[in-house]
Structure 1
């Protein structure tokens, strides 16, 4: 499911970072965004519940905005991130350190 696909993407990010960095001097990173209200996310039937739950249970209890993800992307593309490659940047208000309770 979703968790195995995310794990594969994170592994590919590390592999591509090594190969593209050595071969072309290109940096490869990934952004793992928490649930946020977008037109694409509206196709997920329970997205509103996911957003409410993560907003209430994250270390930074607030909804994720599109600009939060965009700012992370802009940073990774900027010279400020020149030495960052093979990384996954979590834009989820810290939710990835918490996990979701079983049965919720």
Structure 2
């Protein structure tokens, strides 16, 4: 095989991010920000937006954990895409090595 001939390159498997996972990630981020605001308001100002509705003092932490849990599916997809790209790059580097 001459240097001008090129082998067909194998494309990585198709990967699409889920719109539902993205929506859950956005909602999760909003909950984490809201929980941070509630923690700030409870500690600095003496009361948050939900303090009158919820009497338990640790409710912002539950909201924060719920937000983080909602973000997990999207981040799992991102890590899966990263592994696919990393494997593809490794295969390409192996295929591009000169053979003597």
TM-score, normalization by structure 1: 0.30
Q: Flag the structure with higher strand content.
A: 1
Higher helix share: 2
Structure with higher Rg: it is 2
TM-score by length of 2: 0.31
